[in-house]
Amino acid sequence: MAKLGGQAVDALFSGQATGCSFADLPSSFYTRVAPRSLSRPRLLHVNPAVAARLGLNDAALHSPAFLALCAGSGRLPGVEPMATVYSGHQFGVWAGQLGDGRAHLLGDVSGPQGAWEIQLKGSGRTPYSRMGDGWAVLRSSVREYLASQAMEGLGIPTTQALALVAADDTVIRETPETAAVVTRIAPSFVRFGHFEHWAHSALDQAALLDYVVTHWFPDCLAGQADHPDRAVAACLLLAEVTRRTARLMAQWQLVGFCHGVMNTDNMSILGLTLDYGPYGFMDAFQANHVCNHSDSLGRYAWNAQPAVAQWNLTRLAESLQVLGCTVPDLEAALAPFESVFLQAYHAGLAQKFGLAAWRPEDAELGDAWWALLHAQQADFTLAFRYLADVGTDEPAWLSLFADGGAARQWLDRYRLRLADDPRPQAERKAAMDRVNPLYVLRNHLAQHAIQAAQQGDASEIGRLMALLQDPYTQQTGHESYAQPPAADVPTVAVSCSS
């Protein structure tokens, strides 16, 4: 596909500023590298809601210039694509230099809804690809495209996917597959790993700190703009990242989301859900559920995610010592993690239970709930959703449990708690339905969309996107999308190649 740039792409963003703030950092932070061209690229799907954030209208989304941009042959005016370098810990082990091995940062677009970085994923080799080919397959690209919408619909901070481009190029994974590229946006794609990479260089770490704080955490410079103390700013930044990450973990836990590969290079400095690979929303609940087939030791199990996030934050803290931060100051910045996590988790669980507020004694009710779901392997999403109907339609809720007696015992405790928190049933149900989704991106639903997309049919992607934009509202005719997979549906195994 011929390169389209200049006036063609410029017309997409008429009246909006384009550039690349990351390029203001020293050249050692990135490498200028062009995406690889695709064979017969075609726009499989586009998210109009995300496009609106960039000021793109419907006509722009169906233009050759838009396809060129999302396929890697177009350029933002005045910006050359780049890949950024970072390092990180993978599965708890220092992996050394990593970087954007199959991603290209096209630059920034600034408009009425703020500034957004535009990045292609699956767009070819970079100097940081190591032994990889830099491609992404349609299977994993559909999963990332849908997952970002699922999390956005649930109100969970995330990078967002703008478009999905398919192509004819063959990519070898376990079997031959076809290539695809996801165009995704975020205020920033800076990761913990960017800071880890510069842990040995005070000068470069200071440049990265200044960049991140100036653009996204200006409060960390409050009162010290003339002569900023970088050690102070770094600790203030760490404290805010700690709080954001703690709240994010609570949100993941409360919807049964498992990331699958919580390496430090997959942790966003802005507290966003970043890099959807072997993720999964639980069907049958198991507290130690592992969604990543590659995670043989269960490091990233559902019940381990908060602790892993805290461990990752500690690695981030260690990288800031080069700026003169003392260990006591860094420990103080990390200290709020547990309290912030528990506050967000308890407040969220109270809402999901239909309680006006969380009380300390509710911890026993919550622990008993997870124990019941674990022992009975009840469906995570529906167990919460149907709980709102207790008192009017208990059979639906009880049908999720193999042992009805054990379920009724917990239900008796729950009713006693509700009696001490009176509210009209209709009001309580409405409140619970606003926080307990009916639709989540179950693996078998994503798999159906993948199989259709591999035949050139994007209609299932479209249906799922519409449901996931409003996962709390029941949609007539889509009852099957709220159900767990049937017993005869093969389990979808996802791994790091996903």
Two tokens, residue 323 = 């700026």
Give the pLDDT band of residue 219 (cuts 50, 70, 90): very high
For range 379-395, the mean pLDDT: 91
| pLDDT at 27 (0 to 100) | 97
Q: pLDDT tens digits, residue range 249-259?
A: 999 999 999 99
Residue showing tokens 């996107």: 465
The answer to whether 412 is a known catalytic residue is no
| pLDDT at 225 (0 to 100) | 58
CA–CA distance, 265 with 34 (Å, rounded to integer) = 22
- Produce one character per residue of 394-432: b if its CB has 16 or more CB atoms within 10 Å, e if not: eeebeebbeeeeebeebbeebeeebeeeeeeeeebbebb
* pLDDT score of 5 more than 90: no
CA–CA distance, 410 with 287 (Å, rounded to integer) = 18
Q: pLDDT tens digits, residue range 113-147?
A: 889 999 999 999 999 999 889 999 999 999 999 99
CA–CA distance, 460 with 354 (Å, rounded to integer) = 33
Specify whether the CB–CB gap between 258 and 300 falls below 8 A: yes
- Element of type H or E holding 10: helix 7-10
| pLDDT at 2 (0 to 100) | 44
| pLDDT at 444 (0 to 100) | 96
Q: pLDDT tens digits, residue range 145-188?
A: 999 999 999 999 999 999 999 999 999 988 999 999 999 999 99
| pLDDT at 81 (0 to 100) | 97
For range 395-399, the mean pLDDT: 92
CA–CA distance, 269 with 220 (Å, rounded to integer) = 14
Give the pLDDT band of residue 224 (cuts 50, 70, 90): low
Name the 3-class secondary structure at 449. helix
For range 360-386, the mean pLDDT: 97
> Cα 139 to the chain's mean position, in Å?
17
DSSP symbol at 490? P
For range 340-347, the mean pLDDT: 98
| pLDDT at 17 (0 to 100) | 81
- Rounded to the nearest integer, the mean pLDDT of the chain is 94
Q: pLDDT tens digits, residue range 309-343?
A: 999 999 999 999 999 999 999 999 999 999 999 99
* pLDDT score of 56 more than 70: yes
Which residues make beta-bridge pairs with 116?
109
Give the pLDDT band of residue 111 (cuts 50, 70, 90): confident
Instruction: Find the catalytic residue in 265, 275, 362, 379.
Output: 265
Who contacts 320 (Cβ-Cβ below 8 Å, separation ≥6)? 195, 199, 205, 209, 234, 235, 238, 330
Q: Report the amino acid identity of residue 342.
A: L
DSSP symbol at 35? P
Give the pLDDT band of residue 1 (cuts 50, 70, 90): very low
For range 350-377, the mean pLDDT: 97
| 302 CB-contact burial (10 Å; exposed 0-12 / middle 13-18 / buried 19+) | buried
Taking the model in full, what pTM does it have? 0.96
Task: Please choose, from the candidates 18, 22, 20, 83, the residue with its C-alpha nearest in 3D space to the C-alpha of residue 54.
Answer: 18
DSSP symbol at 19? E
Q: Report the amino acid identity of residue 141.
A: S
CA–CA distance, 243 with 377 (Å, rounded to integer) = 32
| Least trusted range by pLDDT, from 20-34, 54-68, 340-354 | 54-68
For CA atoms 325, 326, 332, 338, give the dihedral sign. positive
Q: pLDDT tens digits, residue range 401-441?
A: 999 999 999 999 999 999 998 889 999 999 999 999 999 99
